[in-house]
Chain A
Amino acid sequence: MIKKILIIGLLAVVGLIFFDLFNAYQGNETLSKTANYYAENGAKDVGAANLVTAIVVTYRGLDTLGEVTILFLAAAIISFALKFRKEDFIPNRPVRVTSELLDSASQVIVPIIFMVGIYIFINGHLTPGGGFQGGAVIASGVLLMIMSNPNFGVSHKVIATVESISGIAFVLIGVLGIILAGGFLDNTILPLGKLGDLFSAGVIPVIYTFVGLKVGAELSNIIGTISHAQNEKN
């Protein structure tokens, strides 16, 4: 009884605190100072038709580097936690036979999914989307491949190579920005070009290609590891 009263009392106090916050909230009528700067100078400074990309890759480029690092750490920890000894491996795990429909459909759809993913990150500075979205779409293509053939293994060598090269390239481009232009991850080391062209917005398409490859490799690695862990003997 006392426990319930305590819980209700606690909820009431929390509710009171949040009601105050809620009551004092006023929607912004105009853009805040930072947002206003981005909206006014984004196209001129960065040259990207998609303002979200301009902010994510250039103005807040360091945050993106941090996010990619966190994703890498998550993938590494999952691989580490799901590691098992060679003796526990079941070579030919009995799996349910894949239906003809899924098998044939995946052969047709997987290349298209990969193409859409690559399109999304190459056009990240023009249309909505970017490295993370494109990488996630590519990983879902890998997912479909694993679903249609449960014994399909994701090659660690390929994943490690793609991921290391793109990670190092991302940082190198950032450092080049310090040497050749205004600062870390400054995108004006390549010409800005005409707003809305594929080859525009300086170095953003290059960075997004590397981010897309890196994210795609990391997510594919997570799926591959979890699928591989199904072969562990209990």
Chain B
Amino acid sequence: MFIAIAIVLGVASLIGGYIAIHHEKLPVAIIASGLVSLFASVIFLLLAAPDVAMTEAAIGSGLTTLIFFYVLNKIRQRND
């Protein structure tokens, strides 16, 4: 059971990583990279590191994603 969940999460993060690199639309890519962090935090929880999982969930998928969006917004304003 543990291995099955770990494999599903690992494959999901690989797919998320691929989308983050190759998708044409940047917002989708940012969301995908946030999803990778979310999957990673669940994997950390399964590997008995709840403190690392907390940090990853709050910073990796929360703060970093929003900062990417702010920067994207700024770049678009400059390009207009």
In the assembled complex, the CB of A202 is this many whole angstroms from the nearest CB of chain B, namely 20
In the assembled complex, the CB of A139 is this many whole angstroms from the nearest CB of chain B, namely 6
Q: Is the CB of A133 within 8 A of B67?
A: no
Q: Given A227-B70, A230-B74, is A120 in contact with B62 using a C-beta cutoff of 8 Å?
A: no
Instruction: Tell me, yes or no, whether B54 is within 8 Å of chain A by CB.
Output: yes
In the assembled complex, the CB of B52 is this many whole angstroms from the nearest CB of chain A, namely 9
Q: Given A136-B59, A139-B58, is A230 in contact with B70 using a C-beta cutoff of 8 Å?
A: yes
Question: Which of A38-46, A124-132, A152-160 contacts the other chain?
Answer: A124-132
Complexed CA–CA distance, A230 and B67 (Å): 11
Instruction: Tell me, yes or no, whether A110 is within 8 Å of chain B by CB.
Output: no
Complexed CA–CA distance, A226 and B74 (Å): 10
- By secondary structure, the A interface counts as helix
Q: Is the CB of A230 within 8 A of B73?
A: yes
User: Given the complex, which residues of A lie within 8 Å of B59, measured CB to CB?
Assistant: 136, 219
Chain B residues at the A interface, C-beta cutoff of 8 Å: 50-51, 54-55, 58-59, 62-63, 66-67, 70-71, 73-74, 77-78
Complex A-B, nearest 6 residue pairs according to Cβ-Cβ distance, in ascending order? A136-B58, A128-B50, A133-B54, A140-B62, A128-B51, A226-B70
